[in-house]
Structure 1
Amino acid sequence: MFKKTVALITIALLLTAAIAGCAGKSGGQQAGGQKFITIATGGTAGTYFPLGGALADIWNKNIKGVNATAQSTGASVANVNLLKDGKADVIFVQNDIAYYAANGTEMFKDNKYEDIKGLTTLYPETVQIVTLAGKNIKSVADLKGKKVAVGAAGSGAEANARQILEAAGITYNDISAQYLSFAEAANNLKDGNIDAAFLTAGFPTAAVQDIAASKKIELISLDDALVSKLMEKYPYYTKIVIPANTYSGVDHDVNTVAVKAMLAVSSKMDEETAYNLVKTMYANLDRLKAAHKAGEQIKQETGKEGMSIPLHPGAEKFFKEIGK
């Protein structure tokens, strides 16, 4: 009886080790014939979260054996760390942040992560500087001496805020920097606790719509000189216009800049899984469009535009098949 018990325990341990081994090779946890895919998104008031939920739905319904779930996170920088630590399998990330991680620069200095690979780029992530009417803030220069939400500490939005302020000759010493998430920034603007907020997301952004529903908002335009200086040092930015009436009460075009949202995975993910994920996503774009307006800008023909890191072999296979 004792020998039989020991044998059963040994078999159980071997099976556990085998499952763990498969998970490490695939980049997704495997158990009982299922492949568990964790999708790291962003805050619930941003764009990543609804799109991540739609992706999970697409993959669950169309890829046999996949069990995908989307989780709310601190977005780009936090997501890279989750991927690196094996706590996420697919991440939403800004293309500039992915580049910093792969090359060990900016917030990833001395913390290089070469295993991060691109799956596809998605849509422009627009830097939106939001304030309230009556604050008398018409330009970036007017932010001096103000309480400004610059994004969650160490986030992609925070890096964008810091770089734009730098291009305007402003440092955090010139403002009262508040490290707040999208949702926190919206609440604090409405309550009058801050004067302005930097948000980086596809527009229209739920957090901005939320503010505009109860307050008269203004979006700050970036002048050409500032944009040129910014793009000279940080080439991942592109010029973009937020059209008039995107948000309630903003009846004019707003000139600003954008980076690119993208999906990234670990080099440890197997080629077949990566290939199936990107192929299935592009075969079900209507679901992404239904989840968020930014989904309308996701197209397979532009899926490599702005790709700042090497593609995963599975993604590379897909784009070669479609001639891109």
Structure 2
Amino acid sequence: MFKTFSQNRLTRPRLSFAIIAILSGLIAPASQAADSRITVGTGGKGGYYFQIGDLICKSFTRETIGYKCQAKATNGPTENLPKLQNGKFDIVVARSDWAKQALNGGGYFQSNGSNPALRSLFSVHSEPLTIVARKDAGIHTAGDLSGKRVRLGRSATRLVKQIPDSANWDVSAFQTVKPKDMKAQYSALCAGKVDAVAAVVGYPSGVIQKTAETCPIHFVNLSGQQIDKLVAGSDALSKTTIPANVYTSITAPTNSLGYKAILLSSAEVSDADVYAFVKSTFENLSDLGRRHPSLSSLQPSEMIRDGLSAPMHPGAIQYYQEQGWIK
């Protein structure tokens, strides 16, 4: 009896270690093989694009078994869209007008050629044309800009030129300003050296908030049948409203038009990967909204419609059809 007991004490641990080693050998490779990596190109680390891409990525990794997602800080669409086309990124964040240029091989992307494989997933926050006027400048409608001292960001210049009747304006005192010089224009506005500043910018904007705290300003409403027609003629444009009380003293909502920040992928990225990414985003939309103000008021009906300037990815379509959002 003693001999048998001694043998059992010696052989059982050996058997246990053998079983653990076998199980470890079987389980670890399977777990590693299941992890699919998604890389998202965003924007500069201090900007909305990186913050949003990073939030969505972290949520995706946390909530979806078998995936790891990493948000990469970049120089924006001029880096994101070529790297997406070359397969270095799986998903990118870009503004809807930049996406349209990349799809067609126009503007900045003329030398790259068209990218017919570009695919939309969904849009996120709006980047409206925001026309900030000094209260005593006599600017109440878009037409009142004629003959005024107006400073415009580059994207705002393109949009302002498309406003109906703008061809008849006196634009002799209009000036397009480089991005690095835009901040100074808001100071000039408060100093009475400029009558209005127009920029395509997401809200809330820190520089506009500072301007609102410094001098009396208001926003110029952009609405009506002609604006509706302009938006209807471009899949990169959408109508938007800057909510009341986003900025100090701006107590009424402001109607405008502009672009959307959108998430894009490529037809080369698998339907399964895109489906998983889209599903995770929409199922955790409330949590994402609590983590960043620009995501707090998103509506699925708008996210799958507005600003999608490239065809929709089949993986995204599958999820939207399952939800009954599209046919």
Q: TM-score, normalised by structure 2?
A: 0.70
Secondary structure, in 3 states, of the residue corresponding to 1:277? Answer: helix
Q: Which residue of 1 aligns with 2:286?
A: 286
Q: Which residue of 1 aligns with 2:75?
A: 73
Q: Which residue of 2 aligns with 1:155?
A: none
Residue 263 of structure 1 deviates from its aligned partner by 0.8
Q: Is the 8 A contact 1:50 1:291 kept in 2?
A: no
Q: Is the 8 A contact 1:51 1:291 kept in 2?
A: no
Distance, in Å, in 2 between the alignment partners of 1:171 and 1:275 is 50
Q: Is the 8 A contact 1:186 1:210 kept in 2?
A: no
Q: 1:232 to 1:264 in 2, by over 3 A?
A: closer
| CA deviation vs aligned residue, 1:110-141 (integer Å, no higher than 9, x gap) | 63111211112334432212244455544445
Distance, in Å, in 2 between the alignment partners of 1:290 and 1:43 is 20
Secondary structure, in 3 states, of the residue corresponding to 2:161? Answer: helix
Q: Is the 8 A contact 2:152 2:174 kept in 1?
A: no
Q: 144, 149, 153: which is aligned to 1:150?
A: 153
- Please identify, of 117-126 and 275-284, the stretch whose mean Cα deviation from structure 2 is larger: 117-126
Residue 101 of structure 1 deviates from its aligned partner by 2.4
Q: Which residue of 1 aligns with 2:6?
A: none
Q: Which residue of 2 aligns with 1:121?
A: 123
Q: Which residue of 1 aligns with 2:37?
A: 35
Q: 1:195 to 1:52 in 2, by over 3 A?
A: farther
Q: Which residue of 1 aligns with 2:104?
A: 103
Secondary structure, in 3 states, of the residue corresponding to 2:268? Answer: coil
- Please identify, of 116-125 and 127-136, the stretch whose mean Cα deviation from structure 2 is larger: 127-136
Q: Is there any run of 5+ residues in structure 1 with no aligned partner, and where?
A: 1-29, 152-157
Alignment of 1:209 with 2:209, yes or no, is: yes
Residue 255 of structure 1 deviates from its aligned partner by 2.7
- Please identify, of 308-317 and 237-246, the stretch whose mean Cα deviation from structure 2 is larger: 237-246
Q: Is the 8 A contact 1:36 1:68 kept in 2?
A: yes
Distance, in Å, in 2 between the alignment partners of 1:72 and 1:172 is 35
Secondary structure, in 3 states, of the residue corresponding to 1:287? Answer: helix
Residue 77 of structure 1 deviates from its aligned partner by 5.3
Query: What percentage of residue pairs aligned between the two structures are identical?
Result: 21
Residue pairs, 1:105-254, within 5 angstroms: 105=106, 107-109=108-110, 111-141=113-143, 142=145, 144=147, 146=149, 148-151=151-154, 158=155, 160-167=156-163, 168-169=166-167, 175-180=174-179, 185-186=182-183, 188-190=185-187, 196-222=196-222, 224=224, 227-228=227-228, 230-231=230-231, 233-234=233-234, 236-254=236-254
- 2:81 is matched by which residue type in structure 1? V
Q: Which residue of 2 aligns with 1:23?
A: none
| CA deviation vs aligned residue, 1:56-112 (integer Å, no higher than 9, x gap) | 2212322334141242534x5553234234453322223343233223345545631
Q: 1:194 to 1:72 in 2, by over 3 A?
A: farther
Q: Larger relative CO (CA 8 A, sep 6+): 1 or 2?
A: 1
> RMSD of the alignment, in Å?
3.6
Secondary structure, in 3 states, of the residue corresponding to 2:241? Answer: strand
Q: Which residue of 2 aligns with 1:262?
A: 262
Distance, in Å, in 2 between the alignment partners of 1:171 and 1:96 is 27
Q: Which residue of 1 aligns with 2:26?
A: none
Q: Is the 8 A contact 1:43 1:73 kept in 2?
A: no
Distance, in Å, in 2 between the alignment partners of 1:320 and 1:232 is 24
Q: Which residue of 2 aligns with 1:58?
A: 59
Residue 277 of structure 1 deviates from its aligned partner by 1.0
- 2:317 is matched by which residue type in structure 1? E
- Please identify, of 291-300 and 313-322, the stretch whose mean Cα deviation from structure 2 is larger: 291-300
Q: Is the 8 A contact 2:54 2:70 kept in 1?
A: no
Residue 248 of structure 1 deviates from its aligned partner by 0.7
Residue 286 of structure 1 deviates from its aligned partner by 2.5
Q: Is the 8 A contact 1:132 1:189 kept in 2?
A: no
Distance, in Å, in 1 between the alignment partners of 2:173 and 2:226 is 17
| CA deviation vs aligned residue, 1:137-187 (integer Å, no higher than 9, x gap) | 444452656351314xxxxxx1x5313224322698762211216xx6345
Q: Is the 8 A contact 1:149 1:198 kept in 2?
A: yes
Q: Is the 8 A contact 1:41 1:91 kept in 2?
A: no
Q: TM-score, normalised by structure 1?
A: 0.71
Distance, in Å, in 1 between the alignment partners of 2:207 and 2:139 is 20
Q: 1:235 to 1:164 in 2, by over 3 A?
A: farther
Q: Which residue of 1 aligns with 2:321?
A: 320
Q: 1:239 to 1:276 in 2, by over 3 A?
A: closer
Residue 266 of structure 1 deviates from its aligned partner by 2.0
Give the total of aligned pairs: 284
Residue 257 of structure 1 deviates from its aligned partner by 1.4
Q: Which residue of 1 aligns with 2:12?
A: none
